[in-house]
């Protein structure tokens, strides 16, 4: 398997399960934080007063946008806290978070805690920017429904070269015989403009954490974004009546043709050759956090449409794509989650309410 874009399709499930077991051993070996700052990121059980309010990227003022981008640059320069014995290639705090995602890839996707884990992961990043880089705002989100149909995609304000994350990479020729070729991809090379054109990506590609310094790549697929990131697909996701189906529609199936809004953002930006299209190392692209903040906003919108029934509605498999529960049961509120050195371990139940448990933030607008 030489492609950097790995779709967990049927014929690799056995391999995936092997990897899960391998990583389970590794992940449990990660010590939880002791005297480090990040141990305080779980907000304890204190009341959530004055939560940071997350806003859409283009509604921020230019100075707010600049302050956020500067905070990311700061975080990219902070030294890593992950022991080299666990992740040999870590250099920066940013690498700490990417590595955490890489190591757990097959235990946090296509599972019942996919949304909970990524909600918490994004909140811990937001809190790290605030605690370690003096950022005073909230994590922005990217409402991609504003940037489709396809013809608008590459002109998204999120991809702006000055007040955004920069745009596409130069085209790597399309090869339709590659099974991992994302339909409609238009780039693939190093990002050539914006604040991250000189960024050093170290984690990945795929499951490697040995440190592979390289540029940040993007491979925009306007077609893919247009197909999966419109209001139609978002409404379809929001119309599901229980969490299990909400999650499955959002995560989609194991092929490009069966994608949902989650894959829409990953492959719409990352295509085949960009970091966002790498199932393991996708948080390497700072756009990841804006995409996941919006996915979280979709989930919170869904929860808030019927909070009595949905605030604590959780289901879905413990093991990757085990929707028939042949390998294990379903996730419950007491299901444990870890972010390694980046935060104190928690449970799914502690992340169901964005203004309670271990979380404290809000959204300006819901779907
Ligand atoms: Cu992920």
pLDDT higher than 70, residue 303 = yes
pLDDT of 238 reads 98
32 has a pLDDT exceeding 90: no
Cα of 65 vs centre of ligand 1, distance in Å, is 24
Distance from Cα 87 to the centre of ligand 1, integer Å: 18
Taking the centre of ligand 1 as the mean of its atom positions, its distance from the CA of residue 96, in whole angstroms, is 14
Task: Determine the pLDDT at residue 22.
Answer: 42
Query: How close is the Cα of 163 to the center of ligand 1, in Å?
Result: 25
User: What's the CA-to-centroid distance between 26 and ligand 1, angstroms?
Assistant: 18
Compute, in angstroms, the gap from residue 88 CA to the centroid of ligand 1. Answer: 21
- Tens digit of pLDDT for each residue in 241-288? 999 999 999 999 889 999 999 999 999 999 999 999 999 999 999 999
Q: What is the DSSP-derived secondary structure letter of residue 239?
A: T
Q: What mean pLDDT comes out for the span 180-196?
A: 97
The pLDDT value given to residue 47: 82
* Å from CA of 6 to ligand 1 middle: 13
CA angle centred on 348, ends 344 and 57, rounded to 5°: 80
Has residue 129 got a pLDDT over 90?
yes
CA 112 to ligand 1 center in whole angstroms: 13
Task: Calculate the average pLDDT of the chain.
Answer: 90
Question: CA–CA separation, 317 vs 49, rounded Å?
Answer: 34
Please determine, for residue 20, whether its predicted confidence score (pLDDT) is greater than 50.
no
Question: For residue 307, what pLDDT is reported?
Answer: 96
What's the rounded mean pLDDT across residues 322-340? 97
Ligand 1 centroid, distance to 223 Cα (angstroms) = 22
Q: What is the pLDDT of residue 34?
A: 34
Phi, psi of 87 (to 5 degrees): -130, 95
Overall average pLDDT of the 56-77 stretch: 98
Which is higher by pLDDT, 113 or 34?
Answer: 113
pLDDT of 134 > 80? The answer is: yes
Kindly list the domain boundaries of the chain, sorted by start residue. 10-363
Task: Find the distance separating the first CA and the last CA of the chain, reported in whole Å.
Answer: 39
pLDDT score recorded for residue 254? 85
For residue 17, what pLDDT band results from cuts at 50, 70 and 90?
very low
Residue 298 above 50 pLDDT? yes
pLDDT at site 3: 41
* DSSP-based three-state secondary structure for 350: helix
Alpha helix locations (H) across the chain? 13-29, 62-77, 93-108, 114-133, 150-153, 222-228, 231-238, 243-251, 261-270, 287-304, 307-310
In the numeric block, the tokens 């305080």 are attached to 40
In this prediction, residues 127-131 reach a mean pLDDT of 97
- The whole model's pTM is what? 0.89
User: What separation in Å is there between the alpha carbon of 339 and the centre of ligand 1?
Assistant: 12
- Angle at alpha carbon of residue 307, lines to 305 and 313, rounded to 5°: 110
Query: Ligand 1: distance of its center to the CA of 118 in Å?
Result: 6
Between CA 282 and CA 201 the distance in angstroms is 10
Q: How far is the CA of 101 from the centre of ligand 1 (A)?
A: 6
Distance 321 CA to ligand 1 centre (A): 14
* Domain 10-363, CATH homologous superfamily name and number: Di-copper center containing domain from catechol oxidase (1.10.1280.10)
User: Where does the pLDDT of residue 46 fall: very low under 50, low under 70, confident under 90, or very high at 90 and above?
Assistant: low
287 CA to centre of ligand 1 in angstroms:
13
- 245 CA to middle of ligand 1, Å? 18
């Amino acid at each position: 398997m030489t492609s950097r874009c790995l779709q967990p399709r049927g014929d690799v499930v056995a391999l995936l399960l092997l990897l899960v077991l391998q990583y389970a051993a590794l992940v449990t070996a990660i010590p939880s934080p002791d005297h480090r700052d990040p141990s305080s990121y779980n907000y304890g059980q204190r009341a959530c007063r004055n939560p940071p309010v997350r806003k859409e990227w283009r509604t921020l003022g230019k100075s707010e946008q600049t302050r956020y981008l500067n905070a990311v640059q700061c975080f990219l320069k902070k030294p890593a806290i992950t022991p080299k014995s666990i992740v040999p290639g870590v250099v920066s705090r940013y690498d700490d978070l990417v590595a955490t995602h890489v190591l757990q890839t097959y235990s946090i996707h296509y599972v019942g805690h996919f949304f909970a884990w990524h909600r918490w992961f994004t909140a811990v990043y937001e809190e790290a920017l605030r605690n370690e880089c003096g950022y005073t705002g909230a994590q922005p989100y990217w409402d991609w429904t504003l940037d489709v149909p396809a013809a608008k995609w590459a002109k998204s304000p999120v991809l702006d070269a000055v007040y955004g994350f920069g745009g596409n990479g130069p085209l790597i020729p399309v090869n339709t015989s590659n099974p991992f070729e994302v339909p409609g991809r238009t780039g693939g090379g190093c990002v050539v403009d914006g604040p991250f054109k000189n960024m050093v990506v170290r984690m990945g590609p795929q499951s490697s954490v040995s440190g592979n310094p390289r540029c940040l790549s993007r491979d925009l697929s306007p077609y893919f974004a247009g197909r999966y990131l419109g209001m139609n697909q978002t409404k379809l996701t929001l119309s599901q009546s229980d969490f299990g189906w909400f999650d499955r529609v959002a995560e989609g199936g194991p092929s490009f043709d069966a994608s949902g809004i989650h894959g829409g953002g990953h492959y719409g930006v990352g295509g085949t050759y960009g970091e966002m299209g790498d199932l393991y190392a996708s948080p390497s692209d700072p756009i990841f956090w804006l995409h996941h903040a919006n996915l979280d906003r979709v989930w919170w919108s869904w929860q808030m449409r019927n909070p009595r029934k949905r605030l604590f509605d959780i289901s879905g498999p413990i093991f990757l794509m085990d929707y028939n529960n042949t390998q294990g049961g379903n996730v419950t509120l007491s299901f444990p989650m870890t972010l390694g050195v980046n935060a104190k371990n928690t449970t799914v139940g502690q992340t169901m309410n964005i203004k309670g448990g271990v979380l404290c933030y809000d959204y300006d607008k819901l779907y």
